[in-house]
Chain A
């Protein structure tokens, strides 16, 4: 089922700023949409507005054709919206067994006993919890509790599943395992999912669509790949990508090319984007060749390259390549190092930056 948010405004009483400011978004049916952003960006508020736990101060919210909330009014109560929700705290009822927790939504829908038993059984099997049905939540591990929470939310075939940072309370290994299970559950059920997280790798792994939010506004709404390749502005770039964001001090259009002046020096970009008042150069690690200090421009194969000097401040050893942080005139750049290189920390180096692999993005 599609969910349409149109110009949604949410302001908490007593707060001077809006938690959500004029948000317009279509959540596509049968896909996983992730709301991604730093804490306080309005992503959880958006989710709670969709659930109906929060009213909205402006705009409309539709589930398919039905208007469920509009300015100042909750038209359809949360209990009538037919969604499932997984909370960060799991919110399992401690006085009910696993089976009772999963059956709760079915009982609320007045299913008959046999049908409830059948469905609960099916959910327990699907989540590999069959042996734990009679346990209380307090007797389960974090990962098992998480699965019960998923089972409870999916048992009654909701038209949309809302997940509010469901993996935040798990340790790193379990988190990786659970996100695969969530994706597998999605493949099995095909339910529309809205997933809130502040972790970009989770978003990239799970989503068909990522909505990056900041200060109550959407910064970018696109599939994960595009998010990483073409961040819409410097905020998105800083939040999701591994590329370095270098504020531009001056951008001029010269003969259909853009001449960009930054702390790294001047370079020309082939770009036809309109020139913004404030913009930044996005330098991907793969655009940078790290060379020993003193390498002359003549020795660099790429004649268009921007040559500059810097110093290595940090090296992170990875399994495929090492990543280093190079300091150039108070700007920090991330660059790849070949695995078996002779570079080390504090070493002065020369960088050759390929402008063809750089982008100009709005914001600084």
Chain B
């Protein structure tokens, strides 16, 4: 092993990885090829199988009226909830980044908490709150319903609320990055607040707004939990619930399910391409001027402060506090509709943890699948990030793009593809945990890759070159310099993957079998059987677990930054 040359391009100086342990170049390429092929295969194989499945289809069958109606429903549903989430999320982001309003910081954390709650649990929570007969809020309003819950309106409003944290997370940093100097310069030039908003704010955060809109649209277009809980009881179907009913029917119509997944893929790829385009474009408008980016909160009058205070706390109440409180409260009741009058206790937990026959199996599956997914995803993501760092070029770019398809293709289409792919040889994973691990891994690898690659990029090239100039081999540099600096990022990525794995409803429900059930499937089954109290207890446990992982991820992230 020779000493690394430090005068070549920085990335070349860092052939991190297995070079010193695996001497020959052939072996080295093979060593790299395995993880990379795994990433590509995990993503592309199910999609390929999905395409093959569609070929069997009689096209006349697809354009039949009922399917078009469902497609229209899906569009209305996705657009409606996107607009709602966008308006509320952006307004909240503006208040938090610009408003001079006292006592609202805790609300920000509370709104973020909404991020760990599974969509399906969220829907159940709102059933508890707004059910026309027994909902607690309905009761509090003296029997009046605010809006019909089991309807398109209900689905749009609840999904809109559910997506608020998502929008908030994307738009707030964009506003923070803007710095208040740009607005003040506008006012100094004589433009009033409205002109400033229209001509300075909006153009500069368009990219972030559009990215948030596209992501939210994509998520709600493919959303399953809320339409299943709120639409299906009243026979209002969107594409995801229709696909599910096709698979659950006897005999299951897999071909049709595959065909209906195609619009998801198209919408997903279009939305992602649009998002990438907008983010690229926004780079051109990166705010210039060295330091001196200042965040200053403008003085606000008392009535305005009071109004914004109210807006923030009502949003926190609706987005996070009420749904979480409802689920936790009901997990202690005997009968949710009779509430406290029927007594409170731990019997629901007693049942789901100790008395229910499936518990041991479910806990084992959940733990195994989650841990296996985290290990596979972080390993692949780390290897990919290291590869990309030392081999920037067409190969790494293509792999990254393929990995992104895992995010771009909506979960429902991907899951149907996974059914097709893993039900038959050579990868007959159906009925084992591996079908879940493979599907989750393909979907979550890009998330982990993004953060690990970003973390790696921030470890200055100087540090590695300094190690190389001291004579360290690339494996030695990895072991002594990169990993010690990077591990919090890897672990944080693992925690985020844990959150995603625990809150996942769709893949879990579609891919589970009698013996292999994720805990979220347990929630779904309890709900289908009408055992809402058990569902609430299990949901509480799951949310607490996901919340812990989320907090750990945050703590690790901060530790790394410091």
Contacts known (A54-B299, A79-B187, A169-B290); A91 close to B181, Cβ less than 8 A? yes
Minimal beta-carbon separation of B521 from chain A (angstroms): 48
Is B141 among interface residues, defined by CB-CB distance under 8 A?
no
A152→B285 CA distance, assembly (Å) = 19
Contact A53 B298 (CB under 8 A): yes
Interface string of A77-104 (1 = CB under 8 A from B): 1111011110111111111000000001
Is A91 touching B185 in the complex (CB atoms < 8 A)?
yes
**CB contact between B289 and one of A51, A82, A83, A91 (< 8 Å): that residue:** A91
- Interface mask (B255-292 → A, CB under 8 Å = 1, otherwise 0): 00000000000000000000000000000111111111
CB distance from A131 to the nearest CB of B (A): 19
Q: Of A136-144, A304-312, A353-361, which binds chain B?
A: A136-144
- Is the pair A94, B292 in contact by a Cβ cutoff of 8 Å? no
- Pairwise interchain contact B185-A87, C-beta atoms closer than 8 A: yes
A89 to B185, CA, bound (A): 10
Q: Which of B188, B286, B290 has the most CB of A within 10 A?
A: B188
From B100, B184, B287, B293, contact of A85 by CB (8 A): B184
Interface string of A124-142 (1 = CB under 8 A from B): 0000000000001110101
Contact A83 to B188, CB < 8 A, known contacts A89-B181, A142-B290: yes
In the assembled complex, the Cα of A95 lies from the Cα of B200 at a distance in Å of: 8
| A93 CA to B298 CA, complexed, in Å | 20
- Set of chain B residues within 8 Å of A169, measured between Cβ atoms: 289-292
Contacts of B204 in A (CB 8 A): 93-95
Tell me whether A156 is interfacial, beta carbon within 8 Å.
yes
| Cβ-defined contact, B186 with A104, below 8 A | yes
Interface pair B288/A78, CB less than 8 Å apart: no
Residues from chain B with a CB closer than 8 A to the CB of A90 are 288-289
Whether A104 lies near B191 (C-beta < 8 A) is: yes
- A53-B296, A89-B179 are contacts. A78–B291 as well, Cβ < 8 Å? no
Residues of chain B within 8 A (CB-CB) of A79 are: 187-193
**Least distance between A167 CB and chain B CB atoms (Å):** 12
The CA-CA distance from A72 to B285 in the complex, in Å, is: 37
Name the interface residues of B193-226: CB closer than 8 Å to any CB of A: 193, 195, 199-200, 203-204
Residues of A contacting B184 with CB < 8 Å?
Answer: 51, 53, 78, 85, 87, 91
Query: Is B189's CB under 8 angstroms from A136's CB?
Result: no
Interface status of A362 (Cβ within 8 A of chain B): no
A321 to B139, CA, bound (A): 90
Q: Which residues of B are found within 8 Å of A142, using beta-carbon distances?
A: 290
Chain A hits for B29, CB < 8 A? none
Q: A91-B182, A93-B182 are in contact. Are A168 and B292 (CB under 8 A)?
A: yes
Whole-angstrom distance between the alpha carbons of A142 and B290 in the complex? 9
**Roughly how many angstroms separate A168 CA and B290 CA in the complex, as a whole number?**
10
A87-B181, A95-B285 known; A156 vs B190 contact (CB < 8 Å): yes
Chain A 43-78 per-residue mask, 1 if CB under 8 angstroms from chain B, else 0: 000000001011100000000000000000010011
Q: How far is the CB of A139 from the nearest CB of chain B, in Å?
A: 9
**In the bound complex, how far is the Cα of B203 from the Cα of A74, in angstroms?**
28
- Say yes or no: is A216 at the interface (Cβ < 8 Å to chain B): no
| A342 interface residue per 8 A CB criterion | no
The complex places the Cα of A252 from the Cα of B489 at a distance, in Å, of: 69
Report the separation of the CA atoms of residues A137 and B288 in the bound assembly, to the nearest whole angstrom: 7
Please tell me if the beta carbons of B298 and A89 are within 8 angstroms of each other in the complex: no
Cα separation A84 to B184 with both chains bound (whole Å): 11
Q: A273 near B: Cβ within 8 Å?
A: no
Chain A contacts for B299, CB-based, 8 A: 54-55, 74
Known contacts A53-B298, A93-B200, A138-B284: does B190 contact A87 (CB below 8 Å)?
Answer: no
Is A108 close to B, CB under 8 A? Answer: yes
Q: What's the Cα separation between A54 and B188 when bound, in Å?
A: 13
B469 within 8 Å of A (CB atoms): no
Nearest chain A residue, comparing its CB with the CB of B289: A89
CA distance A138 to B204 in the complex (A): 14
Question: Is A42 on the interface with B (CB-CB < 8 A)?
Answer: no
**A109 lies within 8 A of B296 (CB):** no
Query: At the interface, yes or no: B294 with Cβ under 8 Å from chain A?
Result: yes
Given A94-B204, A142-B290: A152 and B182 within 8 A (CB)?
Answer: no
Known: A53-B298, A55-B299, A168-B292. A94 touches B286 (CB 8 A): yes
| Given A85-B184, A89-B293, A93-B182, A138:B286 Cβ within 8 A | yes
Q: Is A224 located at the chain interface by the 8 A CB criterion?
A: no
Residues of B within 8 A of A231 (CB): none
CB distance from A121 to the nearest CB of B (A): 18
Contact A94–B287 (Cβ < 8 Å):
yes
Q: Which of chain A's residues have a CB closer than 8 A to the CB of B190?
A: 79-80, 82, 105, 108-109, 156
Is there a chain B Cβ closer than 8 Å to A220's Cβ?
no
Q: Known contacts A89-B181, A91-B182; is A138 also within 8 Å of B288 by CB?
A: yes
Q: Does A153 contact B (CB under 8 A)?
A: yes
Measured in the bound complex, the distance between the Cα atoms of B8 and A18 in whole Å is 55
- B297's nearest neighbour on chain A, judged by CB, is A13
Assembled-state Cα–Cα distance A162/B189 (Å): 12
Q: Could you tell me which residues of chain A, from 199 to 256, have a CB within 8 Å of some CB in chain B?
A: none
* Minimum CB distance partner of B298 in chain A: A53
The verdict on A350 contacting chain B, using a C-beta distance below 8 Å, is no
Interface members, chain B 148-202 (any A CB < 8 Å): 179, 181-182, 184-193, 195, 199-200
Interface set, chain A 1-56, CB cutoff 8 A to B: 13, 51, 53-55
For B286, the chain A residues whose CB sits under 8 A away are 94, 138
* Bound-complex Cα distance A23 to B188 (A): 23
Cα distance A84–B416 in the bound complex, in angstroms: 61
Interface residues in B72-118 by Cβ distance below 8 A to A read 100
In the assembled complex, the Cα of A53 lies from the Cα of B192 at a distance in Å of 13
Query: In the docked arrangement, what's the CA distance between A55 and B296, Å?
Result: 13
Is the CB of A280 closer than 8 A to any CB of chain B? no
- Are B294 and A89 neighbours in the complex by a CB distance under 8 Å? yes
Known: A89-B181, A105-B190, A108-B190. A95 touches B289 (CB 8 A): no
**Which residues of B are found within 8 Å of A109, using beta-carbon distances?**
190
A165 to chain B, nearest CB (A): 8
B189 touches A92 (CB 8 A): no
In the complex, A168→B181 CA distance in Å?
15
Enumerate chain A residues within 8 angstroms of B179, measured Cβ to Cβ.
89, 91
Determine whether A145 belongs to the interface, using a CB cutoff of 8 Å to chain B: yes
What is the chain B residue whose CB lies nearest that of A107? Answer: B191
A267 to B117, CA, bound (A): 80
Would B292 and A89 count as touching, CB distance under 8 A? yes
Q: Say whether B192 contacts A93, CB under 8 Å.
A: no
- Cβ–Cβ contact A108 & B284, under 8 A: no
Knowing A89-B293, A89-B294, A94-B204, the reply to whether A105 touches B288 (Cβ < 8 A) is no
A93 to B204, CA, bound (A): 9
A110 to chain B, nearest CB (A): 10
B15 to nearest A CB, angstroms? 34
Residues of A within 8 A of B193 (CB): 79
Partner of B188, one of A84, A93, A140, A145: A84
A173 to chain B, nearest CB (A): 16
**Bound CA–CA A85/B188 (angstroms):** 6
Q: Which of B318-356 contact A (CB under 8 A)?
A: none
Q: Chain A residues with Cβ under 8 A from B189's Cβ? A: 79, 84, 104-105, 108, 152-153, 156
Q: Which residues of A contact B181 (CB under 8 A)?
A: 87-89, 91
Residues in A with CB closer than 8 Å to B298 are 53
A108 and B287 in contact, given A53-B298, A87-B292 (Cβ under 8 angstroms): no
Closest chain A residue, CB of each to CB of B102: A13
Measured CB to CB, the nearest residue on chain A to B195 is A108
- Further contacts, 10 of them, CB under 8 A, given A51-B184, A78-B188, A91-B184: A79-B192, A84-B188, A94-B288, A95-B203, A136-B285, A137-B288, A137-B289, A140-B288, A152-B185, A169-B290
12 A-B contacts (beta carbon < 8 Å): A85-B184, A89-B290, A89-B292, A91-B289, A93-B185, A93-B204, A94-B284, A104-B189, A108-B191, A136-B285, A138-B285, A156-B189
The 6 A-B residue pairs with the shortest CB-CB distance, nearest first, are: A105-B189, A91-B181, A89-B292, A88-B292, A85-B188, A89-B289
Which B residues fall within an 8 A CB radius of A? Answer: 100, 179, 181-182, 184-193, 195, 199-200, 203-204, 284-294, 296, 298-299
